[in-house]
Amino acid sequence: MVFAHDTEAALLSAVALVNTAVEPDTLTSVEDLDGWYQEHGYTGRRDGDAAELAEVRALRPVLRELLVADRDRAAVLVNDLLADARALPRLVRHGDLDWHLHAVADDAPLVRRVAVETAMAVVDVVRTGEGSRLSVCADDGCDGLVLDLSRNRSRRFCSTACANRNAVAAYRARRRSR
């Protein structure tokens, strides 16, 4: 494991959220947001309305900037996000989850909790100097973000689709050059 369990979970959910903005946009309905929320094990307040959806959609470019920022810039962005949200870190234990960090109240709006969860995860990324684990997809035509949690740092594509497309292109290039 590269980061603590809750850090990895927060980074995975943030990257998935940012990548919904890659065309075609896949976060356009409350149902889409439900799907992301459930898949990533979020708990706490859900409004399930259009306002909440709009707020979370608008957070995507903010998180994207944070996740691809260089180390010094990321530190500034993290501090701003935590201050704006008046984050107050504390250890909690709920459901099947052992002690982990929460930094905003469970009844805070979803958008604020996602912003703070992500900022807290990037705290670890900055402290450990592991920023190179986050990158933009190696596919020329894709803006998706990649979170590489592999031991040998081998992950370069945001999705299986991008990896396969590039594997096919590389295979064709090798055949042509024979």
- At closest approach, how far in Å is the CB of 80 from Zn ion? 23
What b/e string do you get for 23-36 counting C-beta neighbours within 10 Å, with b at 16 or more?
eeeebeeeebbeeb
The minimum distance between CB 10 and Zn ion, in angstroms, equals 10
Indicate the residue among 70 and 96 with the shorter CB distance to Zn ion. Answer: 96
Nearer to Zn ion, 57 or 113 (CB): 113
Least CB distance from residue 174 to Zn ion, whole Å? Answer: 21
Nearer Cβ to Zn ion, position 83 or 92?
92
For residue 60, how many C-alpha atoms fall within 13 Å in the half-sphere facing its CB? 22
Helices (H) and strands (E) in the chain, counts: 6, 4
**Smallest distance from the beta carbon of 138 to Zn ion, in angstroms?**
8
Q: Based on CB atoms, which residue is closest to Zn ion, 109 or 144?
A: 144
Residues making contact with Zn ion (CB under 5 A): 137, 139, 142, 144, 158, 162
Q: How far is the CB of 121 from Zn ion (least distance, A)?
A: 13
- Cβ distance to Zn ion smaller for residue 77 or 162: 162
For 10, 35, 89, 118, 137, the CA distances from 20, given in Å and listed in that order, are: 16, 12, 28, 16, 14
